[in-house]
Structure 1
Amino acid sequence: MPTLMLFLCLGTLVSRASSLEFRYHNTAEVQEYLKAVNRNYSSITHLHSIGKSVEGRNLWVLILGKFPTKHKIGIPEFKYVGNMHGNEVVGRVLLLKLIEYLTQGYLSDPVVTHLLNSTRIHILPSMNPDGFEASNRNCLYSQGRFNKHGVDLNRNFPDAFVQNDKGEHELEVWAVMDWLKSEPFVLSANLHGGAVVASYPYDNSNGGKVELQRGSSIAPDNDVFIYLAKAYSFSHNYMHNGQSCYGSTVFKDGITNGYYWYPLQGGMQDYNYIWGQCLEITLELSCCKYPPEKELPGLWDDNKDALLAYMKLVHLGVKGQVLYSDGTPVENAIVEVEGRKNLCPFKTNINGEYYRLLLPGNYTFKVTIPSQEAMMETLYIPYGPDMYSALKHNFIFQRSRNSSPDVTPSTESCVSKLRNQEAGRSAALLASHLTVLLLLALGRFLL
């Protein structure tokens, strides 16, 4: 009988793709809804799992766009991640409603149509389904924040400001890290609750050598991050008012530097930016982490325009390819912007593509590839989001066998840290395998 009731409930949920209820759907219902959307809108969606939670639940990602199944040159990759803390549930609901809004609006709503034609959008409604299933409906103090191992996933990513990271990360975190390697993401946001503010990197600091200024930890692309955060807060119905929750911090313009708010080690937004070349901010969307269901329609109305406006910003700046004169793409070319010394330099992907989110203005680029003299070029960058396209510009190299490579020390340092991470992961897996072998051997001995 319980199985039959679940089947009937799911049937009600997905019988018509146009009627997603404003309520909290459990993991099984979310899975069935995403599968139904994928069936009903197969030409513009692709559903896949990026991994599993500790308890074996799939981390489902729905991709939306004109070319949903595969990255296309020149089309930027965008992502939203919800429910990283299992008891912060508003983002989970809003992302399901956003999926409904985008699929229904394609070819009828001009903004939605332009977005899906020009952008590949990835939506992970729940990064922590185990935590969600363990949570209760307390506004502020419900259980379920952590994953099944009792780990805060937003303190579990590699941290560029921390030495001797052993690579001991949770399954959900490894899944996101591998996901970042599999797609050339450009812009992202992760959705939380417990405040109403847009927070931007850095969340951590090395103690003030370069980035620590007036209590904030300043990233090289600080101007872009502030613009991204304000774009969300001023498109939101009231976030820009900077109202406090329960007498806590008041945020000017509804934004904050993450470190200035409170230092955070192992955060996901810093990892995205430093190692993933993806600018990510953290959106705190409700004072109450688990608000009553009657408030969900209003929360959707408060955030809908902001969610759409933020996605458009993936078209800021400049994009293009680094190519040899015969058209061969150059992978791992370093594309640097003068005055912006990233901890890990931005590199081209397998197609020789680069994406740099930049505000309108003049910028000087330095492009470096092995065995060639570095190329310097100054570009004027207009505002791209209104046209749903960043400036397109290719850097063309003549092949040469005489020049020596120009490799920056920051590249070597970044590569070294990444290798340490992989070594830590391999060691952890090896230890796990050895444990299994020992148990098997012990079992045979006891038999």
Structure 2
Amino acid sequence: MGTIEVVRAEADEQAARYLRAAGNVGLAIGLLAGGEEVALGYGETDKGSGRVPDGRTVFEIGSITKVFTALLLADAAGSGEVRLDRPVGELLPAGVRMPAYRGEPITLAHLAEHTSALPRLPGNLGATIKDAKNPYRDYGVEDLHAYLNAARVGFPPGSGASYSNLGAGLLGHVLALRAGEPYEDLLAARVLRPLGLADTAIALSADQEARMAPGHDAKGEPTSRWDLPTFAGAGALRSTVAEMLTFLRANLDPAATPLEPALRECQAPRPVAWRRRIGVGWPHALGLAAASLLVQWSVPVPPGSATFLAAALLPALAALAWKGFWSGAWAAAATWAGCMALWGSQFGWLPAGTTLFVVVGLAGLLSGYIPPTGRVRLGWQEATVGAGATALWHNGGTGGYRSFIGFIPGSRVGVAVLSNSANDVDAIGLALLGRLAAAAGDGPKP
């Protein structure tokens, strides 16, 4: 029995569980193991249609587009057209200012790695939304440039990973400006056609439109597609499970493709200098802590009371919101030490210290900063699956679709999962990837 047949029963079970949940409509799963591959379809392309998705059904793949944008960057860098460490501002039109941290520029690599310190979304996006079901449609290039002119970053670029749709969209935008052609045309010429991906596109042909599965929101109601004219590089592509398997095969065997150097560049781990963030915001943190302690000392604040806890927590919360995780940690430590000095160990340690460090720790976990990310890739995310194997993966989500692709470098296995429902499929993809690795005998990879 082949590797895929061993895993197919689990794919059937995972799909059945997903489709039993309210709101989920259809699912296509692609499994790749060595020379074997299969595309499996479940549910319906639309409620009541009776049509089961298959390998050629077209879905929005959302943020998986970011992997292709990073590959476009790596290819351009490999040909000498740009450098990975080139400042983004050098590719923007005259009159558009790229934010920097104390003179340190954000580079093209920072955008692809999600280490730019740019926020997830531009602050002026909300003002441009005319249709909540298609939120990026009316965000124009002029809006992006206006945001950049006013933007600030609070951390050294390259010092921490923080996922940014803004950064990926900006990367696609500046690469298109550099080449002097639209992002979709540039991507097709440099990445899609060389890899044999004829069914991956933004604008669809009549045949692809006929194969497009309508999207459904989290409750299973029909919803509109997303258009991302300015942020195309962040999530505008549509594709099929068959094409995603072709793309995964290229990543598993780069030497068999014309984009070998670029594929390998995207898979290579890149260090994150997270220790450079430790000193960010400490003066602000100490000032907030001092203000809290002054209030506690000068105004009757019963130690151990709710008012006392509020006064002790406020500096850490304000520093977290203002300057980030490390500033919050500095504020918590300073406030704790001050409470110990003012009130002694009984009140300083139990209500103040424990609560402060629980709050800061939870904030770090929720923000993804704990543990600090030690390495990143161009485009890809990293996860451990199965018995310790390192997988490279990315997911995607738009108003009516969810997607996942992943593979284990140095192995023979990959998984693609596409859904026309707005409920996550990551757990399915990661579980099947680990199961495939175990069935194929591919052990942990560095």
TM-score normalised by L of structure 1: 0.23
**Bigger-Rg structure (1/2):** 2
Q: Which has the higher contact order (CA 8 A, sep 6+)?
A: 2
Structure number with higher helix proportion: 2
Structure number with higher strand proportion: 1
TM-score normalised by L of structure 2: 0.23
